[in-house]
Structure 1
């Protein structure tokens, strides 16, 4: 079992990575009943996005309010998990998620119940579920997709910006800078990185995403990173399944990271999870924390 640093309800785990030398995936396990057996208990996984980490945006706040145990972790190359930070490493992220799942299931006996992802983390979770519909993934009841991208090729739009185009022509890469966990971080991005990123086939969601999983998609209309139209694509794909449902929550003033709106995201997720638990979900539109079925919307003439 990986090294642990434990407090009453929070355990920091270092999960050995079988495919990366001298690497352990670092994450935080939150437990509602830390002294009770974990065999057969349900757990939620919280997945961060590009240039993020396990405690940024709404992730930690949500973890501390969830009605079940949860685990949030840093993908390779992010914050506390060793590795190289790469735009093109999304297949590595999917592998990291699979390793985390197998560890929690085998070492703790957890049952993976819910996957909550932001941006890139949403894509990783959704594609992983589409590739592994049985075994560990077969227990998942719900997915929360916050600012998730469907059209990965749209990332090529970045390379058309004059300043980025100039860097690519001059040095073969452009540099993305950010502050992660209060530390400055820089990521070099090449055209090959874009090719690798865009090569991930999200279209498998149409045919291979499990039909019984309920999904909540939350997206801000002021998202300048992932076009809000991608949320409508997910609604089209996932809303056509049965018996699984899909709810689309569009937040008019929200940006990609839901800046200043973390509590709104948390409250929406908790309300949706309560409906998931009580099996009262129906495919529809979610608005200001209250779900409205499509057939309850005003007539087209009044919109």
Structure 2
């Protein structure tokens, strides 16, 4: 679309002396944004706003969108903490408030990957704005938070020796040394994902996507979300499992975007029903 515009925003944080940096994609930048619908795209742990499928989706989505770096990631300021899910939720509240007060945007869709999905669902369950959202895409979201201890087995030797585990990771082509403490894992394990059973808004339509060879978050967690969110009305829940796909959908990014776009089109045409979602070579909605 010739008129599409990408704008980098620096949003002052409401809880910390830092800025959250993100990209606002606008389909009609010369038109008023007051009351206009927008999609939020949330990255996962050790990710960033242009990671995996996020940028690809934003550039193809038929709606304005905003994707940003959570606190301490890539271009955003502040301190990143391994167990700071509540801080991520505060970041999301800050972003929503800014988009609403500065532009007049109304959040219509939340797309989250992994940790971003868990935080997005918490915001939908606990915020006033979340009650007015139309849809949610949950990609690789963890439900059984205590399973973080499965991967924490690799940390135990260094925890016993030094009190923390140190790892070197690459985020946005930058090398970062991160320390993981036992209390970080404990904090994650105690996060209450069960809130979706009673607090998730009934009207929100949900697409859950998960790779069947995900070694970070077992695919069965997607089945649990399907059970928790599939009995609501008028909201629907669709489950899409991808064979041979890992947690980050390596080399499958376009497939993720295609699925989301097909689901969104079906939603807007009133063709969705709760159940298994078949796309591409396996069938059409």
Q: Give the TM-score range, shorter chain.
A: over 0.9
Q: Alignment length, in residue pairs?
A: 282
Matched residue, 1:206: 197
Within 5 Å, give how 1:2-13 maps onto structure 2: 9-13=5-9
User: 2:41 aligns to what SS in structure 1?
Assistant: strand
Question: How much does 1:186 deviate?
Answer: 2.1
Report the Cα offset of residue 243 of structure 1. 1.0
2:154 aligned with 1:158, yes or no? no
Q: What is the match of residue 138 of structure 1?
A: 131
> CA 1:268 to 1:8, structure 2 compared with 1: closer, same or farther past 3 Å?
closer
Deviation per residue, 1:110-159 (Å, 9 max, x gap): 11000000000000000111111x3x223210100000001111101222
Displacement after TM superposition at 1:109 (Å):
0.5
Partner of 1:297: none
Q: Supply the distance in 2 between the matched residues of 1:18 and 1:243 (Cα, whole angstroms).
A: 34
1:126 aligns with 2:121: yes
Q: Name the counterpart of 1:241.
A: 232
> Which residue of structure 1 aligns with residue 218 of structure 2?
227
Residues 39-60 of structure 1: CA distance to partner in whole angstroms, max 9, x if unpaired?
Answer: 1111000000000000010000
Deviation of 1:237 after TM superposition, in Å, equals 0.3
CA distance in 2, matches of 1:177, 1:57: 19
CA displacement, residues 11-52 of structure 1 (integer Å, 9 cap, x when unaligned): 10000012102x011000000001110011110000000000
Tell me the secondary structure at the aligned position of residue 99 of structure 1: helix
Distance 1:175 1:69 in 2: 39
Q: Hey, what does 1:174 align to over in structure 2?
A: 165
Name the counterpart of 2:65. Answer: 70
Match of 1:29 among 24, 40, 59: 24
| Mapped partners of 1:91, 1:291: distance in 2 | 39
Bigger shift: 59-68 or 271-280? 271-280
The 8 Å contact of residues 284 and 291 in structure 1, kept in 2 or not, is answered as no
In 1, the alpha carbon distance for the partners of 2:181 and 2:108 equals 37
Q: Is 2:18 the counterpart of 1:18?
A: no
1:107 aligns with 102
Residues 254-293 of structure 1: matches in 2 within 5 Å?
254-289=245-280
Q: How does 1:24-63 map to 2 (within 5 A)?
A: 24-63=19-58
CA distance in 2, matches of 1:106, 1:18: 13
Q: Secondary structure at the match of 1:77?
A: coil
In structure 1, the residue matched to 2:83 is 88
Cross-structure match for 1:301: none
CA contact (8 A) 2:208 2:238 kept: yes
Question: Residues 19 and 78 of structure 2 are in contact (CA less than 8 Å); yes or no, is this contact kept in structure 1?
Answer: no
Give TM-score, length-normalised by structure 1.
Answer: 0.90
Cα deviation per residue 1:205-243 (whole Å; 9 max; x = unaligned)?
100000110000000001000010100000000001111
The whole-number CA distance in structure 2 between the counterparts of 1:199 and 1:46 is 25
For residue 64 of structure 1, give the secondary structure of its aligned residue in structure 2: helix
Q: Which moved more, 1:209-218 or 1:76-85?
A: 76-85
Q: Provide the C-alpha distance between the structure 1 equivalents of 2:210 and 2:152, rounded to a whole number of angstroms.
A: 24
In structure 2, how many angstroms separate the alpha carbons of the residues matched to 1:159 and 1:95? 26
Which stretch of the first structure deviates more once superposed, 197-206 or 32-41? 197-206
**Per-residue deviation, residues 88-107 of structure 1 (Å, max 9, x unmatched):** 11100011001101111111
